[in-house]
Structure 1
Amino acid sequence: MENIKFNDLALSDSVLKAIDDMGFEEPSQIQAEAIPVVLEGNDMIGQAQTGTGKTLAFGAPIISKISDEEKTNAIDALILTPTRELAIQITDELNRLARYAKTRILPVYGGQSIDRQIKSIKRGVNIIVGTPGRIKDHINRRTIKLDSIKFLVLDEADEMLDMGFIDDIESIIKSSNNDRQTMLFSATMPAPIKKLASKYMRNEVKHIAIVKNSLTVDKIKQYYFEVKNKDKFETLCRIIDADEPESTIIFCKTKRGVDELVESMQVRGYNVEGMHGDMNQNQRINTLKKFKENTLDFLVATDVAARGIDVHDISHVINYDIPQDIESYVHRIGRTGRANKEGIAYSLVTPKEYVMLKQIEKFTKSKIKRKDIPTVDDIFETKYNNMLEKIKQNIEKNDFKKYVPFVEKLDDEYNLVDISAALMQMLFEKEISFDYTENSIGVDSNVRLFINVGRKDKINVKKLLEFIDKVSGIEGNEIGDIDILDKFTFIDVPERLTDVIIRNVRGKKLNGRKVNVEVANSNK
């Protein structure tokens, strides 16, 4: 499947245009293998991990096949997914794919007004993305009819199984027409999922299995910085100024992103060039030559352009944009830590991308540690120590004598300490490219959560932190103050983690008691 482009996959012009806008240069493995199968009309089982680009794998061909058809109020496609968060995420990506197509997409899940959903469905919807419980509710109310759908997608089938949705899924499938095209995506294939597939999918079903990449991280230290979108560029500058990396590849998701970042960095004096698919071969060769010869400090690239780069002395890889799939992350950070040398991989993560980060950790079996965005004080300390070391080396060389008369003239008028400090300031300002106005950025606000367990339930701080880590993957160092009272507990957590903790902790058992967690109100 090497070097396949989206243009090779017989997708509609409107979908290809949307994919180009999204900045994807090449399909991931699951996309390259699944799209032709879906376009041919076959039922399909896609065995692939979360974060491999599955939504585009089924969304692009479905939208391509229905976008040019005459629209009716009948539903063309139903996509079942285990959680409302995933339903929203899939809907967002499908809307981006359908940007130039006449396709109406609606998320349907619990916790949202069912009357509002009914009104939207009556106005006419082509694709519904929903959770099993709410879809079944609509079927019982006869507000969703599946007797003429063309596509049925079961996404994260094993997750829906684990959450107890198997009976709802069977009921929904039985409500749909027999000549539909069915696609099932699952990271694993437990017996109930195999039984479901054999019972409700056609005999000529195509099975696509994507082997999970293994990742060796012994020599790669992985960190992430949580950033707001508006602070991404300043955060990058702070990281570079504080770390002073020797040879760095910075990854962007799109070609446009590469061009914009390179321009911004060059304006601020960084020694940087870019590489992406729109550059001709000579440009790429020349840029890569400079990078290999260490006449270029920073190379900004897309995933495709970076393929084939064989440089052994890369100290840092920085994910300015989180990639669209886990496989790309593996390839990116593998650029550093070569030849038995240690490497550092940094990722700039917005709150919305935090879930993807946890998926990367889970499927690569590695730990990505949170790191605070450097303050101006941190940068000053780095620059000061480096300048001090250079001054000491220069003094030891003893080849500065011709400048002594100039300093002696100043000594008649000013204190030598003041002269040295002024010179240090000039050097420091020359070293800093970004005009920092605040000492620190990206400080996260905390949310106070109420949990219905306390000392009477025989819990302590250690047990509570271990419980939260086990069910949600949030480590103790992410949690703030904890107040354990007799019957309940208050914990302070970063705002970005609130939904993750509530979703994963609620309903689980701790010391035999079913846990409820919610945002604490002012009366608690």
Structure 2
Amino acid sequence: MADDDAAITFADLALREELLTALNHLGYEEPTPIQREAIPPLIEGRDLLGQAATGTGKTAAFALPVLQRLETNRSDTNPAALVLVPTRELAMQVSEAMHKYGRGLRTRVLPVYGGQPIRMQLRALERGVDVVVATPGRAIDHLNRGTLDLKSVETVVLDEADEMLDMGFAEDLEALLDAAPESRQTVLFSATMPPRLNGMVSRHLREPERIEIGRADVEAEAKRVRQVAYIVPRANKPAALGRLLDVEQPTAALVFCRTRDEVDTLTETLNGRGYRAEALHGGMSQQQRDRVMSRLRSGNADLLLATDVAARGLDIDLLTHVVNYDVPSSPETYVHRIGRVGRAGREGTAITLAQPREHRMLKTVERVTKQKIAVEKIPTVADLRARRLELTRAGLEESLLDDGDLDRFRVVVETLAESYDLMDVAAAAIKLAHEASGGPGDDEEEIPDIPAPRGDRPERGAKRPDRGGKRDSSGMTRIFIGAGRVAGIRPKDLVGAITNEAGLTGRDIGGIEIADRFSLVEVPEGSVDGVITALRGTTIKGKKATIRRERFASPRR
């Protein structure tokens, strides 16, 4: 069955040519599990009850069938479909997605939510729309005004139904469902299925198709996510978060906090550390929330700190890291969060900061997800400095390989070389470049090291980079491996390749540093040539990689 699923394409789902063209243009290659299971019965007109977390592709799962079933060149000015969502941000997101999918069909999609001038919505409704994507409160407002007529509605979709109930929209939802024709198709999606949804399902759905993205699917998503936890005293959490972000260097990160105050405080702290951080929570005005989302979409922010409710349904492009500032209250919440970086085949990193007393909660999460959460040590100041020096080195190497215009700088080098040693000139230039990029100050303090609970300590050899000189590295040489985090390389992959192919043991291997596109591994100087030869004759994670001595460091003596 798994092989059959893997072979299914959007074309196999009997979608209209206009939709297939739009999906191809957007770069969609194959449907996700929820899309494979939901699209066929929805196209047939059946009611559906679906459980799937944020980030599994629910929007396309209901949007494509809605668009598929629309009449071509539809002349009715009243909507044929009503999509109800809990927040303004999600309304905008779903509306934008449906507009892109339905571009070739000239579908008229209108987002309806509070905070936007109602006159704009009134004019659009009067001109005529095919699909209304609305928050329940504003939809009820239009229904009571007589400006939203649901008599032509063929499909009603409730997206994030559990969240809408939590926000107190139960009565509004009942009223909207009662106002739509009984013959309509009803679709309900929810990340969780609490008992209070049962009454709504029994009253408004007719023999629904039931779809649940189960544990096997969750495990498949989780396998693409590097999951790691750090045991940190609460007083040291802000410093630990800043340190980890400095070392990880995420392209874009989403940090979950429990309270609004925590969101505001951490945002200020991280902005002070040089990050472009934004806060998002329920205590902000709609105008403030709009500004935050605008900065995120324009790329003017790379770090979002939010509460669960505020972040529900958000899809951030190029999201590489999710951070749990506290251990989530339930395993389900943890799974929903980390799924944001494991979606659409992407890999990512999930970081959890746990207080010592929260270790038992981590074990519960592991049991539910059937995935190991590695407990590691907070990077030291020395680790941070090494990481930043690594970035400086990588930037210089990239500049050299880029064959850029260096001629106008040679006269400076030649002049200085007449009075100083050429190596000293190069070192001084690198020092200036490194200091210009910033670095930990002399007053940066170490974060207390709390040992991992027994049974969670990493195996010998499969470890983080050398911890500030704690390991004796005399007689060791670093080798360069042209594959890193982007290729899915982990310390255990490098240790396994070296021990299997070169005959060393885990105890022989020193510090391991993994950057985005390359890795550095310490091995005994007497074994370095044999290790290089052995690795050049094999693959790492199924791929050949460049293997050589590290050019920028001599053997450590």
TM-score norm. by structure 2 comes to: 0.46
TM-score norm. by structure 1 comes to: 0.48
